[in-house]
Amino acid sequence: MDKYIILKKPLSSASSMKRNVAEAGSERPSLVIERLQRHEAAELSRDPGILAISRPMKIKLIRPLISAAEPEHAGDAWGVAAVNAHLSPYTGSGVRVAVLDTGIDRTHPAFDGIALQEQDFTGEGDGDWDGHGTHCAGTIFGRDVDGRRIGIARGVKQAFIAKVIGKHNANSDILFQGMHWALAQRANIISMSLGFDFRRKSIKAGQPISPHPKHSMCSAETYGCSIR
């Protein structure tokens, strides 16, 4: 038997039909993880009450290439000006943000005054084992550190941190559980800086792969340069 992620349609009822649009919009599909035989999964996929069914996939971090470190007394993080955040009248005040990543170092000064709610889905406990989640959170809503601006939306006062990438445990079923948790917290924005290794999965499945020789991903700075 294999593990499957099953996304079911939301249950409709007579009472739900009487709700207004805003309330009805809060109804969400339900997510369950079950172990099934292959023929059972195939049969379930034909059920009209099932939106999707899939086996879990490994997920991994999107890591930038190493670049030269910025001077110790550099100005604001380059991304702030790149998206014109320094010119925007909007601060993110009132916006509820969820970050699905490796966790967060809640003791970092960039998060002073922010209400952080952590939820671990990996079984490895709260905290950030890698630093990637801390960087992403800092880029989104981090406060200034030593006079340097690193966050885009410094007005965010509440954030939900789902640890979905563990040191030894990272699969799409964990990710989807984190997404549903974030929706249940009524997050307005869900950030996920991660990727699926489709190439390796395709190779294992015997599908032909023709990688472009110049296929690569670069970043202007490593995540360690923005927040330390």
Reported as a single tens digit per residue, the pLDDT across 94-117 is 999 999 999 999 999 999 999 999
For residue 67, being part of any structural domain is answered with: no
44 and 82 assigned to the same domain: no
Question: Would 172 be classed as within a structural domain?
Answer: yes
Count of domains for the chain:
2
The answer to whether position 155 is within a domain reads yes
Residue 153 placed within a domain: yes
Q: Is 32 helix (H, G, I), strand (E, B) or coil?
A: strand
In this structure, the answer to whether residues 114 and 153 fall within a common structural domain is yes
- Reported as a single tens digit per residue, the pLDDT across 122-166 is 999 999 999 999 999 999 999 999 999 999 999 999 999 999 999
**Domain-located, residue 110:** yes
Place of tokens 């340069």: 225
Which of 20-29, 83-92, 122-131 shows the lowest mean pLDDT across its residues? 20-29
Residue 131 and residue 51 in one domain: no
Backbone angles phi, psi at 46, to 5 degrees: -90, -5
d(CA 225, CA 206): 40
**For residue 184, what pLDDT is reported?**
94
For residues 103 and 152, state if they share a domain: yes
* C-alpha to C-alpha distances, 77 to 82, 122, 153, 179, 183, nearest whole angstrom: 9, 31, 13, 28, 30
Q: What percent of the chain shows pLDDT beyond 70? A: 73
Residue 79 falls within a domain, yes or no? yes
Can you tell me the distance from the alpha carbon of 141 to that of 104, in angstroms, rounded to the nearest whole number?
13
In a domain, 105, yes or no: yes
Q: To the nearest whole percent, how much of the chain has pLDDT over 90?
A: 59
Average pLDDT of span 192-207? 63
Does 98 share its domain with 27?
no
User: Cα separation of 179 and 201, whole Å?
Assistant: 23
Question: Any idea what the CATH number is for the domain that residue 95 is in?
Answer: 3.40.50.200
Structure tokens at 29: 């599909």
27 plus 109 within the same structural domain:
no
In this structure, is the dihedral angle defined by the CA atoms of residues 3, 9, 13 and 19, taken in order, positive or negative?
A: positive
Q: Quick one: 109 and 183 in the same domain?
A: yes
DSSP 10: P
Cβ 159 vs Cβ 116: under 8 Å: yes
**DSSP-assigned letter for residue 112:** T
Residue 197: the pLDDT is 66
Which three-class secondary structure state does DSSP give residue 200?
A: helix
Tell me: pLDDT of 195 over 50: yes
pLDDT band of 169, cuts 50, 70, 90:
confident
> Is 13 part of any domain?
yes
Both 130 and 164 in a single domain? Answer: yes
Q: How many CB atoms lie within 10 A of CB 65?
A: 11
Mean pLDDT of 9-27: 51
Domain that holds residue 30: 2-55
Query: Nearest CA to 164 among 97, 99, 111?
Result: 99
pLDDT at 11: 72
In this structure, the answer to whether residues 84 and 123 fall within a common structural domain is: yes
Pairing of strands 59-61, 194-196: antiparallel
Whether residues 82 and 51 share a domain: the answer is no
* Whether 116 and 40 share a structural domain: no
pTM given for the model: 0.74
20 shares its domain with 117:
no
Q: Which strand (E) or helix (H) includes residue 15?
A: helix 14-17
